[in-house]
Structure 1
Amino acid sequence: MIRTAIIGLWICGVALGSLYFAVWQNSATAAVAPQIGDAALDDGKTDVFSVPVIIDNTVHGYVVTQLAYTLDKSVKASVNVPVSYFINDEIFNQFYGHYSDVIDVQKVKFDDVRKSIIDRVNQRFAQPLIKDLLVEQFNYITTSEIRNQNTKGLERP
């Protein structure tokens, strides 16, 4: 019985010692590592939304996209409206206006689109707000794929 109690105390001591060492090690590395630039940036994601691809007055599919963005924290503090609204609006204008007849998504030069979206959203504010725009999701779905998904692949009479 005493042997079991001593083994239990020994296990508790080892666990507490390793926990203390892990916390001490993390606090030492966190104090040494510089946090350059992290305090000045904030991030977020847009909602998943779709833009129709219309060719000859017929919807052929949808570009489905979700983007992540980084913002300047100091400028964001002065903005009362969520920034994702402006980004969504600009993405819709870009794809519906310039790429609304492009079925082959590989032909879209996303670097040009990204730069254009950043520039046009930043024009709406007194100071540049968006620092970077990253792709979270970017797909093209045809109307037949949507139809098959909704009907579970069943043939319609």
Structure 2
Amino acid sequence: MIKLVLTGVWICVITLASVYFSMQMAAAPRVDEDAARAAALELIKGTQTTIPVIRDGAVKGYFLTRVSFTADGDLAAKQVVPIGETITDELYTLLVGERMVDIENLDRFDVEAFRTKIRDGLNTRFGEQIIDRVLVEQIDYIAKAEVNSKPIRKGTPIVRNDSPARPAGSQ
């Protein structure tokens, strides 16, 4: 009789334990918000933009820029003004309007401040956090005298391709 009672108790314990663990496994998994946001990000390739440097009422040279972004693809697709045009406008605002790059002191150019200012400016324009990271591929300066000379010499590189390396086969 004791064996029968102990066997019944043992079966009840095993049944309760298996129900408990199966309910734990069936519960919704916890979603890491940072991982979910990173999965929603997509790369928006920038186009080469030529921005004039205007000083004392005359064009002194040109900035050649290419800036790419990682952005929330769903939110970016919902924007009324296309992302590319907004990016170009923000670059004009920073490089021409605010004169963020001082041509005479190029060694003092702060790339991180430039990135942060672009990201914050774009997110402010959009009204939500769409842009996650700014990738500066190229910023060159070509003086007007160099543009008019033949042959055209290379511009002065300010920043060149600091975007992270991609694995082979990825786009």
The TM-score, its normalising length taken from structure 2, stands at 0.60
**2:151 aligns to what?**
152
Structure 2: which 5+ runs fail to align? 1-34, 153-171
Equivalent pair of 1:53/1:102 in contact (CA under 8 Å):
no
**Identical amino acids, percent of aligned pairs:** 31
Which structure would you say has the larger Rg? 2
Partners of 2:118 and 2:50 in 1: CA distance: 16
Partners of 1:68 and 1:74 in 2: CA distance: 17
Query: In structure 2, do the counterparts of structure 1 residues 55 and 101 end up closer, same or farther at CA, with 3 Å as the change threshold?
Result: farther
1:102 aligns with 2:88: no
RMSD: 2.2
Report the secondary structure of 1:137's partner residue.
strand
Query: In structure 2, do the counterparts of structure 1 residues 58 and 80 end up closer, same or farther at CA, with 3 Å as the change threshold?
Result: closer
Structure 1: which 5+ runs fail to align? 1-35
**Structure 1 outlier segments of 4+, above 4 Å:** none
**2:135 aligns to what?**
134
Report the secondary structure of 1:90's partner residue.
helix
* Aligned counterparts, 1:25-40, within 5 A: 39-40=39-40
Residues 53-100 of structure 1, C-alpha deviations (whole Å, 9 max, x = no match)? 222223221111010110012312322432121111111100102227
Partners of 1:80 and 1:94 in 2: CA distance: 22
Displacement after TM superposition at 1:152 (Å) = 3.0
Task: Name the amino acid aligned to 1:120.
Answer: G
Task: Name the amino acid aligned to 1:63.
Answer: F
**1:60 aligns to what?**
60
Partners of 2:119 and 2:101 in 1: CA distance: 23
Equivalent pair of 2:71/2:132 in contact (CA under 8 Å):
yes
Equivalent pair of 1:42/1:72 in contact (CA under 8 Å):
yes
* Aligned counterparts, 1:6-17, within 5 A: none
Report the secondary structure of 2:66's partner residue.
strand
